[in-house]
Every structure is written in structure tokens, then in C-alpha cells.
Amino acid sequence: MAEMMYREALNRALFEEMRKDPLVFVLGENIGERGGSYKVTEGLIKEFGAERVIDTPLAEATFTGAAVGAALAGTRPVVDILFVDFTTVPMDAIVNQAAKYEFMSGGQGQVPMVLRTQGGAGNSLAAQHSQSLEALFYHIPGLKLVMPSSPYDAYGLLVSAIRDDQPTIFIEHKLLYMTKGEVPEEEYVVPLGEADVKKEGSDVTLLTYSYMTLKCLEAAELLEKEGISVEVVDLRTLKPLDEETILASARKTGRVIIVHEACKRGGIGGDIAAMIMEEAYDDLDGPVMRVCGLDTPIPYNLELEKVCIPTTEDIVEAIIKIT
């Protein structure tokens, strides 16, 4: 096992898949010589050249639409959109074209495209660069949605997403790029649609994903000292959703809290809570709770920003309340 940063794991996945398959190429803003704003594409242009590492204009609708067309023509594009906030620009290409084409063509055509982007708060980047918009894509049939929390998962899930024949939205949290973790030196995949129990527990289940997984593990460690056993389930893939693992953990502990940074109103947590109540109501010892971001745009001021997203203390308070 080698220790590497989250961004390095993503970079390695891109290198390996581009070496393996000449149909894989990347395109986006400043991803060539600059290596991307978060250095995920660093070094690619030196090995693969400008034909497979394409620096685009500041025109998300144009280059995302081009990627959809390229995927339909048989290639495997990996689109890099700097902020998830900017995915609202090419929504027609994503929602009306990429997500629908296989269905509307009767299975005759596929769109094997990955759209990599990053979201979340934490760097004082204000309201238009700090959103958590995964629920927009969660709602759309035909799209897969991945949000890894660790370098291990980032590598394995990106490999799976690139090899998948359906369009996949791959969202990376801006505060995860510099985090470190162990990654096997040999090639591996993490299958889409499989959650991961990051920590076993018996008293309460925390269902979470992306950066909030780290906060949930911190909360679980704190409460372990108080005699409360917390299970932390990292969903990893939101579509397809691993309902089997979710329900097994809910039935095991009888208490469930869903934690995500995105706003509570219309968030993914509400859908998961409803699913648990429909499928495992008799196994619960109380209602499913949610710890989520506030229903407000993210402010520029760093101290105000911290108030808008869940903290470790918020999660601990919710666990104590439910137990």
C-alpha cells in the first residue's frame, strides 16, 4: 500500500486508464499545461499530448456538448468542470441529451462519459463557488452519481466510472484534495453502487458521503469514549444507491442519522430517510434524523461559512439526542 493524496489518486486513475484505452481523453479549462486548478490532470499533456488533453475555452455548454457527441461516436471523454456551480450552464447537454440518449434510442446508443467536478464549501469562495448540488443530478434518471471520500475510493471509483457505459457525474469535495490515505499499488476497481461501512457500530448508524464522512468518523471516535457505539456508512455512490447496505445497518442499530453538507430542503437525505421508513420502519427505535447544511447561499466570510455546514459538534449533538 502506498500513501497518497486524494488528488494524486485521481491523477493516477486518469494516467492508467488513458494508457490502457486510447479512446479515453480529457477536456476542460486549464487542464493541460496548468494541470488543472487542483492538479488532478497534472502531467497528462506531457504524455498524451494536446489531442487527448484538451484545454477548452471558458464555455461549459460548448465543451460538455462536444463531449456528449464524442461519447456517442465511440470515445470515452472525461469532462473537467472546475466548480459544480458551473454545471448549471451545460444542463441541457447533461440532463436532456446524455442522460436520455440510451433510453430514447432503444439501447442503440450509449454515452460513456464522466463529468468530473468539485463542490462543497470550506475555502471562502462565496455563494457561486461553494454549493453542494448533487441532488440536482440524483433526481435525473439515466445518470450515475459518485462522491468518494478517500483516496482509495477516489481511485477505484474513477476507474469504474471511466469504464462504465453510462454517463456518470463524479463530484469531488474541494477540502478532500490534500487529504491522504493508503492506496494499493496494483490496479483495482471499486464497483459503482456499493456503500462502505467505514466503522462498525451497534447503537446508531450515520449515513453519509464525501467530506462529511470525515466529520462523522470524528464524531464516532469522540462518542466511543462515552460508551456510544456508532456505525459510519459511506454511501460513496448515490446512484446507484446501495439500499441493501443502508437497510442492513438501519435494522442492526435501530437508529439512523443522515449527514450531508447540502441543504436539508430537497436534499438526498430526505429521499433516503423515506426509503428507510418504507422498508425498515418496524426495525427502528425512533424516527430517522438528518444533519444537513442550512437553507442559505454560502457566505464569503469564512466564519459565517462554517455556521452554514454541519460540524462534528452538530453530529455529536444529534447522536446524543437520538440515543
Active-site position among 29, 42, 129, 172: 129
- Is 129 annotated as catalytic? yes
What does DSSP assign to residue 282? G
What does DSSP assign to residue 172? E
- Is 8 annotated as catalytic? no
Residue 189 — left, alpha, or beta (φ > 0 → left; ψ -120 to 50 → alpha)?
beta
CA angle, residues 217, 221, 225, in degrees to nearest 5? 165
The grid cell for 36 is: 488543472
What does DSSP assign to residue 34? S
The secondary structure of 296-321 as a DSSP string is SPPPSSHHHHHHHS--HHHHHHHHHH
Specify which residues 231 forms β-bridges with. Answer: 205
Sequence-distant (6+) residues with CB within 8 A of 96 are: none
Assess contact for 237 and 192: CB atoms under 8 A: yes
90-113: string of b/e by CB count within 10 Å (b at 16+)? beebbbebbbbbbeeeeeeebbbb
The grid cell for 133 is: 448540488
Active-site position among 60, 231, 261, 305: 60
The grid cell for 309 is: 455546514
Q: Which residues have a catalytic role annotated?
A: 60, 129
